[in-house]
Chain A
């Protein structure tokens, strides 16, 4: 613009004025995808959303004005939140869909309280072609007869217009002014959330990726709000630069519980992205989520109470796992086996929710077991007889797992030289070696 390039200029003339100009082809499919993104997100404001391609999303907000505190607060919320999504929007409120579209495109935005006819009358003539079948020949006709605004066109005799093949003009005006109904088909948000965000420049910085992820998550939040649903996990796909020959990387982010809390999503996404090695610069990000489950919004406490002090147990597990890995954060459970080293198992940390009690408790060994078990029995010299305090307990089991896993041992409780209680055993097999296997501590 500063060089003098203006809308309507030809490609060659534009390049002649500004040779360094970077020309980008329009991609109608991307525009449509963006429109669907916005429409899915807009479901958080009203269930009645309608697409009006190529560049408009219509929201029927009459029913929810009270919830958001009136037109002006609602408008401010939409403008602010759509910027988080990465779009700039022009908003207009009107009683009919077509009028809202025209006012958003050509209106000045300072006349919300006035009657609809008065606001529309001031619009320029070319608004007529926006979202209607009015053709350029109709506009030429009206311009030729010296009309410049909708108000003037509205006052023209309808029969005359119809006779001059300008029926579309009267139809459009009737719809905009609310003289005839203008039904729209409602947009239903997709079953599976899928959004792609190309980065302005390929980047290998986790911060940039996080910023882009935040935008994608804002869209996901709207989609979930519209469905009154939450997800347990979502997938973030990193597309690398095309010439780097690196296949795209997919990160599954598990939230730990059903949630649509975007703060939690951002927190976990940050942990995952910080940990992820980036073999090449990232070109675009994709976010996919499916299987939304109904999730009622949590009832807020009337008085800010206990909630703050009781943390979120699922979030802790999800955060730790995001950085340390799934294998590093687990719970223990006993396992019914006589062999001490096989009498326990790792299990997944239980998810918070209804407590499911095990139907049959696992039988525990009748004799005392040490609180610490050594991962591998450690060979020790034969202890003095007086240091063996209790025992023996014979454990002989495991033949079905092959000779390596078979144990034949006599276990004793022994006092070590510094006075601790240890769990030692003597092999029943040929060398009769002594081993230390745990501490009662």
Chain B
């Protein structure tokens, strides 16, 4: 018996069939990377949910992946970085267009403090996005964070070590990041949709002039010798004047 079309069609968005991407009620937030958007249900980061990024170590490209989110914070709102494992480097962030006065860095002594800070950041509803670095978390804690993110309508992006990939998680989206030539490799571990067999390789923008030095179109590796080159291209050089017998300073010319 065929299902009546008139009933099925309005309910289509409520039913997620396993062989297609779910169409969530709220469209996703564009990630800034078209290839990733295409692979995510809703076309971007889930706007009111917990997303997990699993990292083999820090610095594989997670900040580069999230830069478009950090750069899109309007004034009067925060992007909260809770318990970052290192120092996000201000000049690089500023050069990438991140409004640094909207980037709130929260350092936490323990993971309990970090989780509490994340709850506060979500509950306050004053954050555009919350990034939380968490080494250890049990299912209950993650579930509470997921509920808080849902209630507050704020995306919570949880960055955890790769070893957590085998643990169950209430996150609606789980991505495993790997270092990759020219950017970052992404394996989608969990999404509301069919399994994606192949890993995505995202090209991340290079902050300097020209193309990324390790990209496909990059020139061959700089063959700069290990010896200090005779004429360095760019450099900042501030040196004291050689010692003189006469007093030197502002008035040398006048003498």
Contact across chains for A367 and B234 when beta carbons are under 8 A apart: yes
* Closest chain A residue, CB of each to CB of B58: A372
Contact across chains for B104 and A317 when beta carbons are under 8 A apart: yes
Contact across chains for A419 and B179 when beta carbons are under 8 A apart: yes
Q: Does B180 contact A (CB under 8 A)?
A: yes
Q: How far is the CB of B80 from chain A (nearest CB, A)?
A: 8
CB neighbours of B77 from chain A (8 A)? 310, 313
Q: How far is the CB of B155 from chain A (nearest CB, A)?
A: 14
Query: Which parts of A413-441 form the interface with B (CB within 8 Å)?
Result: 413, 415-416, 418-422, 426, 428, 438-441
Q: Does A124 contact B (CB under 8 A)?
A: no
Contact across chains for A316 and B90 when beta carbons are under 8 A apart: no
CB neighbours of B229 from chain A (8 A)? 392
Contact across chains for A375 and B113 when beta carbons are under 8 A apart: no
Mask: chain B, 114-134; 1 = CB below 8 Å from A; 0 = not: 001100110011110000000
CA distance A410 to B237 in the complex (A): 11
Q: Does A365 contact B (CB under 8 A)?
A: yes
Please judge, given known A-B contacts A310-B125, A313-B126, A388-B224, whether A319 and B120 are in contact too, CB under 8 Å. yes
Q: Does B194 contact A (CB under 8 A)?
A: no
Q: Does A369 contact B (CB under 8 A)?
A: yes
Q: How far is the CB of A35 from chain B (nearest CB, A)?
A: 39
Partner of A390, one of B67, B89, B213: B213
Q: How far is the CB of B114 from chain A (nearest CB, A)?
A: 10
Contact across chains for A420 and B235 when beta carbons are under 8 A apart: no
Of B36-44, B139-147, B214-222, the one contacting chain A is B214-222
Partner of A440, one of B64, B75, B223, B232: B64
Q: Does B10 contact A (CB under 8 A)?
A: no
CA distance A416 to B61 in the complex (A): 13
Of A26-34, A108-116, A179-187, A331-339, the one contacting chain B is A331-339
Contact across chains for B213 and A396 when beta carbons are under 8 A apart: no
* Closest chain A residue, CB of each to CB of B82: A320
Q: Does B92 contact A (CB under 8 A)?
A: yes
CA distance A390 to B233 in the complex (A): 11
Chain A CB count within 10 A is highest, among B96, B108, B124, B228, for B124
Q: How far is the CB of B97 from chain A (nearest CB, A)?
A: 11
Q: How far is the CB of B116 from chain A (nearest CB, A)?
A: 7
Contact across chains for A394 and B232 when beta carbons are under 8 A apart: yes
CA distance A436 to B91 in the complex (A): 18
* Closest chain B residue, CB of each to CB of A371: B63
Q: How far is the CB of B178 from chain A (nearest CB, A)?
A: 8
* Closest chain A residue, CB of each to CB of B152: A311
Q: Does B45 contact A (CB under 8 A)?
A: no
CB neighbours of B113 from chain A (8 A)? 323-324
Please judge, given known A-B contacts A395-B235, A397-B238, A420-B59, whether A372 and B87 are in contact too, CB under 8 Å. yes
CA distance A328 to B83 in the complex (A): 9
Q: How far is the CB of B201 from chain A (nearest CB, A)?
A: 11
Q: How far is the CB of B236 from chain A (nearest CB, A)?
A: 4
Contact across chains for A418 and B92 when beta carbons are under 8 A apart: no
Q: How far is the CB of A323 from chain B (nearest CB, A)?
A: 7
Q: How far is the CB of A369 from chain B (nearest CB, A)?
A: 4
Partner of B224, one of A317, A334, A382, A412: A412
CB neighbours of A426 from chain B (8 A)? 226, 228
Contact across chains for A441 and B232 when beta carbons are under 8 A apart: no
CA distance A385 to B179 in the complex (A): 21
CB neighbours of A352 from chain B (8 A)? 76
CA distance A340 to B127 in the complex (A): 29
- Range for the number of chain A residues in contact with chain B: 35 or more
CB neighbours of A349 from chain B (8 A)? 101, 104
CA distance A301 to B62 in the complex (A): 40
Q: Does B153 contact A (CB under 8 A)?
A: yes
Q: Does A210 contact B (CB under 8 A)?
A: no
Q: Does A355 contact B (CB under 8 A)?
A: yes
* Closest chain B residue, CB of each to CB of A439: B59
CA distance A316 to B119 in the complex (A): 11
Contact across chains for A369 and B89 when beta carbons are under 8 A apart: yes
Q: Does B166 contact A (CB under 8 A)?
A: no
Q: Does A5 contact B (CB under 8 A)?
A: no
Contact across chains for B106 and A441 when beta carbons are under 8 A apart: no
Contact across chains for B87 and A373 when beta carbons are under 8 A apart: yes
Q: Does B95 contact A (CB under 8 A)?
A: yes
Please judge, given known A-B contacts A343-B90, A369-B89, A371-B92, whether A310 and B76 are in contact too, CB under 8 Å. yes
Q: How far is the CB of B69 from chain A (nearest CB, A)?
A: 13
Q: Does A309 contact B (CB under 8 A)?
A: yes
CB neighbours of A191 from chain B (8 A)? none
CA distance A355 to B102 in the complex (A): 12
Q: How far is the CB of A10 from chain B (nearest CB, A)?
A: 59
Q: How far is the CB of A340 from chain B (nearest CB, A)?
A: 8
CB neighbours of B78 from chain A (8 A)? 313, 316
CB neighbours of A152 from chain B (8 A)? none
Please judge, given known A-B contacts A331-B101, A344-B90, A365-B91, whether A372 and B59 are in contact too, CB under 8 Å. yes
CA distance A395 to B91 in the complex (A): 15
Given contacts A372-B88, A396-B238, A410-B232, 10 further A-B contacts (CB under 8 A): A332-B103, A364-B95, A368-B207, A374-B86, A389-B221, A392-B224, A419-B180, A426-B228, A439-B60, A441-B184
Mark A residues whose CB is within 8 Å of B. Answer: 308-313, 315-317, 319-320, 323-324, 327-335, 338, 340, 343-345, 347, 349-350, 352, 355, 362, 364-375, 382, 385-399, 410, 412-413, 415-416, 418-422, 426, 428, 438-441
13 A–B contacts from the bound complex (CB under 8 Å)? A313-B76, A313-B126, A316-B126, A316-B127, A334-B90, A334-B94, A366-B234, A369-B207, A382-B226, A385-B223, A418-B56, A441-B60, A441-B62
Counting from the closest, the 5 A-B pairs by CB-CB distance are A439-B59, A394-B235, A311-B125, A311-B126, A368-B208
